Amino acid sequence: MTATRILVTGGAGFIGSHYVRTLLGPHGPAGVRITVLDKLTYAGNPANLDPVRAHPGFRLVQGDVCDAAVVDRLVAEHDQIVHFAAESHVDRSILGGAEFVRTNVGGTQVLLDAALRHHGRGRGVFVQVSTDEVYGSIPYGSWPETHPLSPSSPYAASKAAADLVALAHHRTHGLDVRVTRCSNNYGHHHFPEKLIPLFITRLLEGRTVPLYGDGLNVRDWLHIDDHVQGIELVRTKGRPGEVYNIGGGTELTNRELVSLLLEACGAGWESVEYVADRKGHDRRYSVDCAKITLELGYEPRKDFATGLAETVSWYRENRDWWEPLRQRAELGQAVR
Ligand code: NAD
Ligand code: DAU
């Protein structure tokens, strides 16, 4: 059997590294070889890939998705691309959008150009890992994939632009592009600038946590195992030129979530500081997952209570992973 050679961009980050660990782990598909291309920005951590470092089908290349020469060489050596690399934190994009446009839009274009040269029409698969944030805020109901894009933050706008550019390469050139749009991921190895890992790590240190605005913004939480399951269904069984929403099925207000985190960390509401709201803060996200469910058989399997308890335990037991990251994480906070 010939191996499928997959180029995974951003594979040293939170979700990308879980994808790589899963595919190269004991329950991963047979005959897969993976090269991770990662710039190792503040969010990229080679230690996330330690469990697969000795795997014969694994390679890590430190490099920038905007570097056309590096990308061209790597795309030529691979059959498929799963594109995670991005600047991913909304608060940082509010401080400045330039790096978000450069990496998220420019980097995607560089990858698409190389895919056109080496894969072209009907060959290769290009999975563009995107986000529910591209649709903008929705007060009730859920967005289907056909909903017009209306992103609020510079981060979300850069992801929307990248999605459209990628889909245009399918329509114009026949490139096999598949887009996934998922809800808020949670789990272990999550950089401690995002709500769940930031709050857990601060509470474990006996510190207060900053809740934005009235705390009534709603997010749908998706465990990384389920996100990886959805991406794999799309990579292996999805259709070219299609968009697939991936949700977790657990909608919570931030206050409800914080209440669970306080309980899990043994803290009370006196640890919560209500702080000024995030600029342009989207009230609610909700994806309609009927398409991926009916067409590809996707179903979130991780029960939220179990997933959250496991996540808190992981941060309790892996202080050596997150303590050195605190300073860089607080920078993300300072920009709000
Ligand atoms: P992350 O910030 O943890 O990781 C991003 C990775 O990309 C890091 O390893 C970083 O070093 C790398 N990277 C950044 N710029 C790069 C560049 N120019 N060249 C090469 N590598 C670069 O992000 P994440 O949470 O793992 O998100 C991964 C993808 O999933 C992103 O595209 C994001 O938009 C999308 N997404 C994330 C969530 C979520 O809840 N975290 C939800 C929906 C979609
Ligand atoms: O919806 C998918 C998106 O989820 C991804 O595309 C992004 O990459 C990812 O970062 C995440 O974006 P959010 O902005 O929803 O996640 P974040 O963890 O930053 O914030 C979650 C909610 O918590 C949001 O309503 C803002 C609020 N919040 C966040 C932080 C960091 C706080 O109240 N306090 C905080 O300190």
Read off the pLDDT of residues 132-179 as tens digits, 9 standing for 90 and up: 999 999 999 999 999 999 999 999 999 999 999 999 999 999 999 999
Q: How confident is the model over 300-324, as pLDDT tens digits?
A: 999 999 999 999 999 999 999 999 9
49 within 8 A of 12, measured Cβ to Cβ: yes
CATH of the domain at 26: 3.40.50.720
CA distances from 7 to 60, 84, 107, 283, 324 (A): 10, 10, 14, 35, 29
With residue 218 as reference, give the H or E element that holds it: strand 218-223
- Transcribe 70-126 into DSSP letters: HHHHHHHT-SEEEE--S---HHHHHH--HHHIIIIIIIHHHHHHHHHHHT-BTSSEE
36 and 53 belong to one structural domain: yes
Helices (H), 249-325: 254-265, 290-296, 304-317, 319-322
Does residue 105 sit within a domain? yes
Closest ligand 2 atom to residue 219 Cα is: 15
- The pTM for the full model equals 0.98
If you average pLDDT over residues 75-81, what whole number do you get?
97
**Domain containing residue 172:** 4-183+224-246
pLDDT, the chain, mean: 96
Does residue 177 sit within a domain? yes
Does residue 295 sit within a domain? no
CATH of the domain at 321: 3.90.25.10
> Is residue 89 lining ligand 2, measured as CB closer than 6 Å?
yes
Write out the catalytic residue numbers: 132-133, 155
66 and 208 belong to one structural domain: no
CA nearest neighbour of 194 among 186, 204, 205 = 186
178 and 192 belong to one structural domain: no
What percent of the chain lies above the pLDDT cut of 90? 95
Is pLDDT of 336 > 70?
no
Residue nearest to atom 3 of ligand 2 (CA): 184
> What pLDDT shows up at residue 335?
44
* Closest ligand to Cα 44: 1
If you average pLDDT over residues 186-208, what whole number do you get?
98
Burial class (CB in 10 A: 0-12, 13-18, 19+), 50: exposed
128 and 102 belong to one structural domain: yes
Give the count of domains, the chain: 2
Q: How confident is the model over 212-251, as pLDDT tens digits?
A: 999 999 999 999 999 999 999 999 999 999 999 999 999 9
56 and 174 belong to one structural domain: yes
